[in-house]
Amino acid sequence: LAVKDPTAVERANLLNMAKLSIKGLIESALSFGRTLDSDYPPLQQFFVVMEHCLKHGLKVRKSFLSYNKTIWGPLELVEKLYPEAEEIAASVRDLPGLKTPLGRARAWLRLALMQKKMADYLRCLIIQRDLLSEFYEYHALMMEEEGAVIVGLLVGLNVIDANLCVKGEDLDSQVGVIDFSVYLKSDDDIGGKERNVQIAAILDQKNYVEELNRQLNSTVSSLHARVDSLEKSNTKLIEELAIAKNNIIKLQEENHQLRSENTLILMKTQHHLEATKVDVEAELQTYKHSRQGLDEMYSEARRQLREEAQLRQDMENELVVQVSMKHEIELAMKLLEKDIHEKQDTLIGLRQQLDEVKAINVEMYQKLQVSEDAMKEKNEIISRLEDKTNQINATMKQLEQRLQQAEKAQMEAEAEDEKLKQEYVNKSESLQNEFSQKEKQLLQLETDLKIEKEWRQTLEDDLQKEKETVSHLRTETQEIVTLKKEFLKLQEKKKQLKSICDDQEAALQELASKLSESKLKIEDIKEANKALQGQVWLKDKEATHCKLCEKEFSLSKRKHHCRNCGEIFCNACSDNELPLPSSPKPVRVCDSCHAILIQRCSSNVP
């Protein structure tokens, strides 16, 4: 026969004793039917068995006087691993009657049982085996699988309600001896199975209610966290709205300033344009008058000279050149318009647009100053041109007088020719002299015509310059029109921002209404929890008929229990449903008190 390991046998015996003690404690507590005291024998035996299980495989620690072998060391580790165990450790250390570590460990076990968290505390210890290796040997019960089994058995002790007085007991000097007579079977145990089944059903219902309470507490905590997060988000949104409103007010002030500046600039430009238009019209009228006189002179001179045809051809060529120049100017204008559209597309952001508008306004002001200087120069040129035109008029008058004199001389010559035909031969020499004089006069007239042509070219050049200035002024007016369009776009963007602000305010109001609704639902859940604390489940045997339709319950007609009034309805009578944010499905509601209904099974399992 193979020899068994004595440590394995010890672990198996301790596990069996733990099973028997936990089972006997639960059964006796169910038959006892109320909270347990510290004098209850099965409870004392359970603590003794737990001490033996925790002492198995402990390492011996040396001290100054003797060797120590206590379980307070590993139990003290729970405080670091499980934060909720700090209260137990602090209360155990503060107890005045405890002097030894074993007494502190016994008090710790009793407090953990009263809190119904002994299984959770020991589970944290078993998981951290690296830390337990400092206190236990490798073959100890807490280091093997038997420790995990005992922790699983301890979960069943959450059914028991214990009220233990630790302060007055002498826990240091107690002797831990296991009484095996308690765990021997008797005939009375076989007869009490039915009663134990009923008590187990009641305890199952109690555990179900406790689990529901825990779930409701978790949902309430999650709702509180959501409410806090929503409040924080609301505060942030309110701050952002205030900042946005301040920015909008600043933008409105800047818009008003820019509009006032633009109106002033427009007024100035209009005044300058009107003045320039008046001057140009006066110049055109004077030019027309001078041109009429020149045309009359040219019509009279064309009869005498053939060079005027060539001058006309030159003028026509110049006109063709001017037309081509006009086409080129129009193309340049179109290109400039395309450039302006591309620049408008590249504008990003309200602040950049405002900065560019300010810069454009400054440039326009500078251009106006430059245009004023140019207008002054043009006025001086116009005054000079007027002087020149006066001189031309004087020369024209002199030429007309000379022509009249020449005509009179011709008439006199014709009369003399008629009278002196007979004397033609004698006076041929005198006529030749006169003819030479007339040729000299024609030469003088030709020179005068050349001078007038030169004056006319200078006047045309001046007119072209004035047309260029007029075109520049037209471009400036077009730029002003584009500025107006940009202001309109800014106003539209401002309206969009206002609409966005209104939408955000509406969203905030909706969030506030949802928050108030969620708070009301939380209060309803709290009231339901308070109502559940004092209610007791009816037995399935007593609830056989529905309260409303008075029909028997079956598989098709399931039971639904009201949390508030305690009445039981079937699924056909409880058709009222309400949606809850915490549950994916709608919840059935009581017809009388409108509380939440809980479905009950036909068996004893919740």
**Is there a contact between 255 and 463 (Cβ–Cβ < 8 Å)?**
no
Please tell me the predicted confidence (pLDDT) of residue 602.
Answer: 40
Please tell me the predicted confidence (pLDDT) of residue 538.
Answer: 60
* Eight-state DSSP code of residue 2: P
DSSP string spanning 174-211? Answer: ------GGGGS--HHHHHTHHHHHHHHHHHHHHHHHHH
* Tokens matching residue 295: 């045309």
Please tell me the predicted confidence (pLDDT) of residue 66.
Answer: 42
Nearest to 511 by CA among 193, 237, 181, 185: 237
Top mean pLDDT of 306-310, 471-475, 555-559, 564-568 is at 471-475
User: 411 vs 194, which has greater pLDDT?
Assistant: 411
Q: How confident is the model at residue 578 (pLDDT cuts 50, 70, 90)?
A: very low
Please tell me the predicted confidence (pLDDT) of residue 238.
Answer: 92
| pLDDT, average across residues 307-333 | 81
Does pLDDT of 591 surpass 60? no
Q: Tell me if domain 6-183 and domain 551-605 are identical in fold.
A: no
Please tell me the predicted confidence (pLDDT) of residue 606.
Answer: 29
User: 127 vs 452, which has greater pLDDT?
Assistant: 127
CA distance 354 to 352: 5
User: 17 vs 191, which has greater pLDDT?
Assistant: 17
Q: How confident is the model at residue 249 (pLDDT cuts 50, 70, 90)?
A: very high
Is 119 strand, coil or helix? Answer: helix
| pLDDT, average across residues 280-286 | 83
User: 551 vs 56, which has greater pLDDT?
Assistant: 56
Distances (CA, A) of 32 to 47, 109, 180, 199: 19, 22, 21, 10
Please tell me the predicted confidence (pLDDT) of residue 588.
Answer: 59
Residue with tokens 């900065």: 355
| pLDDT, average across residues 279-289 | 83
Q: What pLDDT digit, counting tens, does each position of 36-54 carry? A: 777 788 888 898 999 899 8
Does pLDDT of 13 surpass 80? yes
User: 309 vs 138, which has greater pLDDT?
Assistant: 138
Q: What pLDDT digit, counting tens, does each position of 471-526 carry? A: 888 888 888 888 888 888 888 888 888 888 888 888 888 878 888 888 888 888 87
CATH classification number, 551-605, choose in 3.30.40.10, 3.30.70.250, 3.40.50.720, 3.40.630.10: 3.30.40.10
What topology does CATH give the domain 6-183?
Methane Monooxygenase Hydroxylase; Chain G, domain 1 (1.20.58)
Mean pLDDT of the chain: 79
Give backbone dihedrals phi and psi of 67, rounded to 5 degrees, phi first: -100, 135
**Is there a contact between 60 and 68 (Cβ–Cβ < 8 Å)?**
yes
Domain segments of the chain: what residues?
6-183, 551-605
CA distance 597 to 590: 6
What kind and span of H or E run contains 259?
A: helix 193-302
Does pLDDT of 347 surpass 80? no
| pLDDT, average across residues 6-14 | 89
How many other CB atoms sit within 10 Å of the CB of residue 518? 16
Please tell me the predicted confidence (pLDDT) of residue 67.
Answer: 46
DSSP string spanning 462-500? Answer: HHHHHHHHHHHHHHHHHHHHHHHHHHHHHHHHHHHHHHH
| pLDDT, average across residues 573-594 | 54
Does pLDDT of 604 surpass 50? no
Please tell me the predicted confidence (pLDDT) of residue 298.
Answer: 66
Residue with tokens 């009034």: 565
Q: What pLDDT digit, counting tens, does each position of 380-427 carry? A: 888 888 888 888 878 878 877 888 887 787 788 777 767 766 776 666
Does pLDDT of 78 surpass 80? yes
Reported residue count of the chain is 606
Nearest to 371 by CA among 476, 502, 284: 476
Percent of the chain with pLDDT strictly greater than 90? 2
